[in-house]
Amino acid sequence: MKNTQDRQNKPTLTAEQQDQITAAAQILCEGGTVAFPTETVYGLGADVTNLDAVNKIYQIKQRPIDHPLIVHISDISHLHYWAQAIPDSAWQLANHFWPGPLTLILQRSRRIPDSVTGGQDTVGLRIPAHPIALTLLDALGPEKALAAPSANRFGRISPTTAAHVREELGSAVDMILDGGACEVGLESTIISFHDQSPKILRPGGIAVSALESVLDSPVMLAHNTSQTIRTSGSLPAHYAPATPLKIYSAKHLWDHTLALAAQGSRVLVMTWSDIGQLQPSDQSIQHFSMPADPVTYGQRLYAKLRQFDQAAFDYMIIEAPPDHPSWLAITDRLQRASYNPFDNKQN
Ligand code: TXA
Ligand code: MG
């Protein structure tokens, strides 16, 4: 089983990291909250079986209580304990991609409290691929798991370093475990199995083509029209910086930028293609080139948005990503970051 193999190859942690994890496990067992690294983004964790601790997550994040949390486990053999009636396709995906950036929405077992699922019958489960997260989960034992949303305030950009968590949540969280920068940088792919057929609720760290090749069948994006499934990442405005963000194709990008600069605005322009080389010389425009491959782009995106958000630009202008499935998660996050309820003219 891939899971077991990966665990054997787990990088060794320093004695100091081990001590911090032991202290973190103690805090969690006493009903506290701990922010911890995963391969996707940092999570804000609490013991899933402790209602007061789970409530603290909602308070700290200022998240509506009907928005469910992902439950993190350390071993595929624990899946039956937290979920039931698990479809074959879910086992296939779990065996192939765990530990990794994939969340499966499954029918919950009675051990999952209502407050974790927002009262829904399903629970989101995943095994994160980060040695600190896995060691922390192991320290809690098989009858505990970590309910953990991304460690940011509701609607804001997910943190990809421990410093981001500190900026975002400060002393509201009891402890922050530092595991360096997250390798994937975007949240997990979320799959639901309504009517046994796998659908993508949120594109993320695992590409659609990889899911399709494991299942040997097409996997569709769920259009979130159902009121009964609440995925906060599927609200239009989410993952958002405070600076207004606009997306333009390469063809229109500099025209729009120059028009804003002419009105006296300071503009940050972020491109991935050669269009960046055509940058006009204007003091109020700052240009930043992102990598042209989606994996490295995804790793850096949130850190860059956060950095530019703090630099007091009036606008962030982002070049539209390529129209290719490997850019789906990036396109999804940029569109949500650019959503403005008062502006119908999205580009
Ligand atoms: O990569 C990730 O998934 C990160 C790391 C920390 O694991 N976690 C994360 O959690 O992004 P959060 O809470 O920020 O986003 C989880 C999404 C939410 O939009 C939530 O509504 C959805 O998963 N979700 C959780 N349980 C669900 C369920 N039972 N049905 C539908 N959506 C669910
Ligand atoms: Mg989140």
pLDDT at 232 > cutoff 60: no
CA–CA distance, 257 with 146 (Å, rounded to integer): 44
* Residue among 284, 270, 259 at smallest CA distance from 337: 270
* Residue among 312, 318, 315, 311 at smallest CA distance from 335: 318
Q: In terms of C-beta distances under 8 Å and separation of at least 24 residues, what long-range contacts does 209-217 make, across chains too? A: 209/325, 209/326, 210/97, 211/93, 214/92, 214/93, 214/96, 214/97, 215/89, 215/92, 215/93
Tell me if 234 is assigned to some domain. no
Stronger pLDDT, 275 or 321, i.e. the higher one: 321
Q: Are residues 284 and 193 in the same domain?
A: no
Q: Are residues 60 and 155 in the same domain?
A: yes
Q: Which stretch of 126-135, 201-210, 274-283, 320-329 has the lowest confidence by average pLDDT? A: 274-283
Q: pTM of the entire structure?
A: 0.93
Would you tell me how many other CB atoms lie within 10 Å of the CB of residue 142?
13
pLDDT (average), residues 100-119: 96
What is the CA 15 to chain-centroid distance, rounded?
29
Question: Residue 130 carries which side chain, given as an amino acid letter?
Answer: H
CA–CA distance, 93 with 47 (Å, rounded to integer): 25
What is the CA 270 to chain-centroid distance, rounded?
21
User: Which residues are paired to 286 by β-bridges?
Assistant: 268
What confidence score (pLDDT) does residue 1 get?
Answer: 39
CATH code of the domain covering residue 274:
3.40.50.11030
Task: Indicate the pLDDT class of residue 10, thresholds 50, 70 and 90.
Answer: low
CA–CA distance, 347 with 342 (Å, rounded to integer): 14
pLDDT tens for 130-148 read 999 999 999 999 999 999 9
CA–CA distance, 135 with 22 (Å, rounded to integer): 9
What confidence score (pLDDT) does residue 282 get?
Answer: 80
**Angle separating helix axes 15-29 and 131-140, nearest 10 degrees:** 50
Q: Are residues 54 and 148 in the same domain?
A: yes
Task: Indicate the pLDDT class of residue 280, thresholds 50, 70 and 90.
Answer: confident
What confidence score (pLDDT) does residue 49 get?
Answer: 96
Q: Which stretch of 8-12, 263-267, 292-296 has the lowest confidence by average pLDDT? A: 8-12
Stronger pLDDT, 275 or 83, i.e. the higher one: 83
Tell me if 123 is assigned to some domain. yes
pLDDT (average), residues 328-340: 90
Tell me if 231 is assigned to some domain. no
Tell me if 101 is assigned to some domain. yes
Nearest ligand to the CA atom of 42: 1
| Å from CA of 255 to ligand 1 middle | 38
| Å from CA of 86 to ligand 1 middle | 19
Tokens of 303: 């850190």
Strand 189-192 versus strand 122-126 pairing type: unpaired
pLDDT tens for 288-302 read 999 999 999 999 999
Tell me if 232 is assigned to some domain. no
Q: Are residues 129 and 198 in the same domain?
A: yes
CA–CA distance, 332 with 236 (Å, rounded to integer): 10
* Nearest-atom index, ligand 1, CA of 44: 6
Backbone angles phi, psi at 256, to 5 degrees: -65, -40
Q: Are residues 196 and 328 in the same domain?
A: no
* Nearest-atom index, ligand 1, CA of 67: 21
70 lines ligand 1 (CB under 6 A): yes
What confidence score (pLDDT) does residue 233 get?
Answer: 56
What is the CA 295 to chain-centroid distance, rounded?
14
Q: What proportion of the chain, given as a percentage, has pLDDT over 70?
A: 90
Q: What proportion of the chain, given as a percentage, has pLDDT over 90?
A: 80
Asked whether the beta carbons of 282 and 267 are under 8 A apart, the reply is no
Tokens of 225: 């029209």
pLDDT at 286 > cutoff 50: yes
Q: Are residues 48 and 170 in the same domain?
A: yes
Task: Indicate the pLDDT class of residue 223, thresholds 50, 70 and 90.
Answer: confident
pLDDT at 248 > cutoff 90: yes
Q: Are residues 197 and 289 in the same domain?
A: no
Mutate to test the pocket of ligand 1, among 67, 70, 169, 225 (most ligand atoms within 8 A of CB): 70
CA–CA distance, 320 with 270 (Å, rounded to integer): 10
Q: Are residues 156 and 78 in the same domain?
A: yes
230 lines ligand 1 (CB under 6 A): yes
150 lines ligand 1 (CB under 6 A): yes
Question: Residue 184 carries which side chain, given as an amino acid letter?
Answer: V
Q: How big is the CA angle at 17 (ends 138 and 130), to the nearest 5 degrees?
A: 55
Is the previous residue joined to 131 through a cis bond, with omega within 30 degrees of 0?
no
153 lines ligand 1 (CB under 6 A): no
Task: Indicate the pLDDT class of residue 278, thresholds 50, 70 and 90.
Answer: confident
| Å from CA of 184 to ligand 2 middle | 15
Tell me if 240 is assigned to some domain. no
Residue written as tokens 């940058």? 279
40 lines ligand 1 (CB under 6 A): yes
CATH code of the domain covering residue 116:
3.90.870.10
Nearest ligand to the CA atom of 228: 1
For 65, the domain range is: 2-226
CA–CA distance, 158 with 187 (Å, rounded to integer): 8
Q: Look at residues 164, 191, 226 and tell me which one is the last residue of a structural domain.
A: 226
pLDDT at 18 > cutoff 80: yes
Tell me if 280 is assigned to some domain. yes
| Å from CA of 96 to ligand 1 middle | 20
Q: Are residues 210 and 295 in the same domain?
A: no
Task: Indicate the pLDDT class of residue 5, thresholds 50, 70 and 90.
Answer: very low
Q: Are residues 282 and 202 in the same domain?
A: no
38 lines ligand 1 (CB under 6 A): yes
Tell me if 346 is assigned to some domain. no
CA–CA distance, 347 with 338 (Å, rounded to integer): 9
189 lines ligand 1 (CB under 6 A): no
Tokens of 3: 């899971």
Tokens of 260: 């804003």
| Å from CA of 45 to ligand 2 middle | 12
Q: Are residues 191 and 253 in the same domain?
A: no
Count structural domains, the chain: 2
Task: Indicate the pLDDT class of residue 241, thresholds 50, 70 and 90.
Answer: confident
103 lines ligand 1 (CB under 6 A): yes
232 lines ligand 1 (CB under 6 A): yes
| Å from CA of 239 to ligand 2 middle | 7
Atom 32 of ligand 1 has which residue's CA nearest to it?
A: 231
H-run or E-run covering 103: strand 102-108
Q: Are residues 127 and 173 in the same domain?
A: yes
* Nearest-atom index, ligand 1, CA of 231: 21
pLDDT (average), residues 315-332: 95
222 lines ligand 1 (CB under 6 A): no
| Å from CA of 15 to ligand 1 middle | 32
Q: Which stretch of 46-55, 123-132, 144-153, 267-276 has the lowest confidence by average pLDDT? A: 267-276
